[in-house]
Amino acid sequence: MLPDEDGVAAWLRYGALPAEQAAAYSIKTVTVLGSHDETSPVASAVRELVDGVSKILGVTVSLTSDTSSLSTSIVVAIREDYLAAGNTLSASATDFLDHTDGYWVDPQKTLILGSDARGVLYGAFAYLSQLAQGTLSSTPFGSRPRAPVRWINQWDNMDGTIERGYGGRSLFFEGGRVVEDLSRVKEYARLMASIGLNGIVINNVNANPSLLSEECLSQGVKRVADTMRPYGVRIGLALNFDTPRTLGGLETSDPLDAGVVAWWGETTKRIYNHVPDMLGFTIKANSEGQPGPLSYGRTLAEGANMFAKALAPFGGFVFYRAFVYDHHLREDNPKNDRANAAVDFFAHLDDAFDDNVVVQVKFGPIDFQVREPVSPLLARLKRTKAVIEFMVAQEYMGQQSHAVYLAPEWKTILDFDMRVDGRPSLVRDILSPDGPFGWPVTGYTAVVNVGRDTTWLGHHLAMANLYAYGRLAWSPEAGARDLLDEWTRLTWGTDPVVVETVGNLLMDSWPAYEAHSGNLGIQTLCDILYTHYGPSPASQDGNGWGQWTRADQHGLGMDRTVATGTGFSGQYHPEVASLYENIETTPDDLLLWFHHVPYTHVLKSGKTVIQHFYDAHYEGAATVQTYPGRWEALRGKVDNARFEHVGFKLRYQAGHALVWRDSVCRFYHALSGIDDDKKRVGHYTHRIPLATASANVALEGYSPVDARLPEAASNGKAVQTDKDVPGKVTITVDVPQGTYDVAVNYFDTSVGRASYTISLNDKQIGEWSGNLQDRLGHDFSEYLDGHSATRVYFRGISLQKGDVLTIVGQPDKEERAPLDYVSLLPEGIVD
């Protein structure tokens, strides 16, 4: 039996190689050339090698200064120290070692060289990774990052919560200050370094000005920087534009006001006093109600440049977010389009930004949706540097209660050719100093929501996203599946069955999630006015947020053409613009992003849009039904603790995928009035809706109630008990004799922990509790809706006509043991 693991070691668990493989190595020591203090990444590399090689090979490796037995030693050195010791370098090694952060590893000589201290650390991690995966060959290899900016944005609040955090409380903050114990921050820095990440903005872009108090900087922020520095990770801060007024006591935060300029100058000096290698500042301004330069009649460039000038003496950069848009946009004007905002606000300022301003652009024009085209702004700034912003936090993608591997989606962005000036311009090349714009400072950042949960992200499988993000920021040409297999070998072991199973499941996960949550480019049809988690297609329209679908009884989709729509497609360079302008050449998976069509519009596949919706939602949800069974193949092949943890979540996900499917299909069925050719939508053969009067169903202490969203429950209704009084549902079974899986769909809200028992002919066959809020990390709903709707199974139950099933619900606080329907499913059927 494999020892239980809690996940905190993530992909740095350094699992032991099988003895026969380990025997091929004779490493006993680590030797380091040159002298390096304890805070240098070289010292971290040495510590990591000593620890990692010992664990992987099952031997005791130690650091030595004795250079007489180099044949059994790993030699690590910065290039200069290596050359100073009288060695020479091959041309191939020099290719990598000529670049910042580059490394060169010669496994035969067990030599690890870095162009600089960080390069040594990256080389050590690359060596350890291959050793642990059992993929280390004797051929020398090197690598260097494509881009200098490889960052993380944490959205941590100083009160210890995390905006869009689903993995526990902040590693950095609690109670308005930086936490005392930074040991997890150190572990985080190790994880970051091991995948090549080199920077982190530690606080929420919706920034709290009190971060800049002298106490917080000196007692807290400085310690965070000191903790992460040995791993080559530098920190940055997100600032609130209005701080001169709110913290500084000035009358204004006008970026051209001399007092404001002086205040930021002083404040920046104070920050650098404590953290001399601070990366700079991230600014969210004039966005979602935040103040900014536009509030003072100044341009966005004037706002950004104010910070840039304060930072210039210290070599810092302003990361100015392009997420500027009007969230009170009027949908009744067909020309209005939030997607236009980034280019509208920024493109004309291309000449106006200072040299140390970098515009930070979300990968798509809206907001981390399940599918979006690339933000056109990435091809419209040329002189102004930019970085792309991804999201590892799965805000719109199942919030880490669903396993969704995001790298395949990111690859659709990175591999997209923007055809700038009619020439090849892949996004991943634009984001590199050797790309078409030659930005010396460019690259990647991602919103990450690691928290104190030992899983980091709330779901062991979600860590594949963090791993792939870091590796793609280093090598954006890498393949999503290759990265996934690396991660699996490191995280779950090298057994080929494990690698194959995890790989296949996670490679299916984004297409499946897209299929059941919003396809053809309609965006994630989640509740954008509430938790951003479960389905609520109606919430997209009729409000100022501009994530519109313009769905009505005739059709849906945003007309973003130049000819008849919002003109968004014209923001791309001509070849891409004409691709999207023309409905014939627009790929189906972005059809509804660019075009408004009737439900009966025929796709390239020959199906109508509405039938495609129905089919895709059924197929996507069906794929998710396979996850628990596929995971079961790993029983005994991975440790039990992580196996059970993931198994539970995949079972939950399977149930919730059905909720997604049914809600979205019902919604468009009702709106369009068009039936499903396959007669599934609205016809649920095996279900017994409890709120619908029927001779077979008796309610005692339970009464019907409207679900918050009609499509989220059978016929729009559930049943619930009175407050504090238990209720009972009795079902007289009317099915042929046989073995059935009994599925109960109920609602698990944030407002209580109701409990339930289920009995057959007065004999209890199961029980459960509405306590998912203790077991899952997503944002919970207090209502009966698509967020709280969920399913529990009791499998292999023998039933015959006349049997009596009873469910007794014990309410807790405001959660009144709500139930939707019971399904009696012949084995193998999912309805």
| Active site members | 288, 367, 395
Nearer to ligand GCU, 163 or 417 (CB): 163
Q: How far apart are CA 800 and CA 371, in angstroms?
A: 46
Nearer to ligand GCU, 14 or 155 (CB): 155
- Residue 161 lies near ligand GCU (rule: CB under 6 A): no
> Could you tell me the smallest distance in angstroms from the CB atom of residue 479 to ligand GCU?
28
Nearer to ligand GCU, 29 or 157 (CB): 157
> Could you tell me the smallest distance in angstroms from the CB atom of residue 524 to ligand GCU?
12
> Could you tell me the smallest distance in angstroms from the CB atom of residue 572 to ligand GCU?
23
> Could you tell me the smallest distance in angstroms from the CB atom of residue 826 to ligand GCU?
42
3-class DSSP string for 699-762: EECEEEEECCCHHHCHHHEEEEECCCCCEEEEEECCCCCEEEEEEEEEECCCCCCCEEEEEECC
Q: Which two tokens stand for residue 514?
A: 């897209």
Q: Which helix (H) or strand (E) holds 32?
A: strand 29-32
Residues of 546-584 as b/e, b for ≥16 C-beta within 10 angstroms? bbbbebeeebbbbbbbeeebbbbbbbbbeebbebbbeee
What is the C-alpha radius of gyration for the chain, rounded to an integer number of angstroms?
28
Q: For strands 443-448 and 149-154, give the pairing.
A: parallel
Contact code string over 121-160 relative to ligand GCU, x by CB under 6 A: ----------------------------------------
* Angle CA 763–765–771, to nearest 5: 130
CA atoms within 13 A on the CB side of 641: 9
Bridge partners for 443 per DSSP: 149, 387
> Could you tell me the smallest distance in angstroms from the CB atom of residue 267 to ligand GCU?
22
Positions in 10-39 near ligand GCU (CB under 6 A): none
Q: How far apart are CA 43 and CA 62, in angstroms?
A: 13
* Angle CA 341–343–347, to nearest 5: 140
Measured from the Cβ of residue 593, the count of other Cβ atoms closer than 10 Å reads 27
- Residue 543 lies near ligand GCU (rule: CB under 6 A): no
* C-alpha of 72 from chain center: 42
Count of residues in contact with ligand GCU, rule CB under 6 A: 8
At residue 702, what are phi and psi to the nearest 5 degrees? -120, 140
Q: How far apart are CA 464 and CA 508, in angstroms?
A: 14
Nearer to ligand GCU, 362 or 411 (CB): 362
Nearer to ligand GCU, 323 or 572 (CB): 323
Positions in 191-220 near ligand GCU (CB under 6 A): 205-206
> Could you tell me the smallest distance in angstroms from the CB atom of residue 139 to ligand GCU?
43
> Could you tell me the smallest distance in angstroms from the CB atom of residue 396 to ligand GCU?
8
701, 707, 713, 714: CA torsion to nearest 10: 60
Which residue has 């023309």 as its token pair? 582
Nearer to ligand GCU, 287 or 611 (CB): 287
Which position among 11, 323, 618, 660 is part of the footprint of ligand GCU (CB under 6 A)? 323
41, 385, 433, 590: CA torsion to nearest 10: 110
Nearer to ligand GCU, 327 or 481 (CB): 327
Write the CB contacts of 681 (distance below 8 Å, at least 6 apart in sequence).
614, 665, 666, 669, 675
Positions in 296-315 near ligand GCU (CB under 6 A): none
Nearer to ligand GCU, 207 or 616 (CB): 207
DSSP-derived secondary structure letter, 411: H
Measured from the Cβ of residue 163, the count of other Cβ atoms closer than 10 Å reads 15
Which position among 163, 482, 589, 767 is part of the footprint of ligand GCU (CB under 6 A)? 163
156, 369, 786, 716: CA torsion to nearest 10: 150
Q: Where are the beta strands (DSSP E) in 94-166?
A: 103-106, 111-114, 141-143, 149-154
Contact code string over 365-394 relative to ligand GCU, x by CB under 6 A: --x---------------------------
Q: Which two tokens stand for residue 46?
A: 């040495």
Nearer to ligand GCU, 284 or 617 (CB): 284
Residue 563 is which amino acid? A
DSSP-derived secondary structure letter, 295: G
* Angle CA 385–153–167, to nearest 5: 155
Nearer to ligand GCU, 325 or 660 (CB): 325
> Could you tell me the smallest distance in angstroms from the CB atom of residue 284 to ligand GCU?
5
> Could you tell me the smallest distance in angstroms from the CB atom of residue 664 to ligand GCU?
21
> Could you tell me the smallest distance in angstroms from the CB atom of residue 206 to ligand GCU?
5
- Residue 164 lies near ligand GCU (rule: CB under 6 A): yes
Which position among 36, 79, 184, 284 is part of the footprint of ligand GCU (CB under 6 A)? 284
Q: Which residues bind ligand GCU (CB under 6 A)?
A: 163-164, 205-206, 284, 323, 367, 395
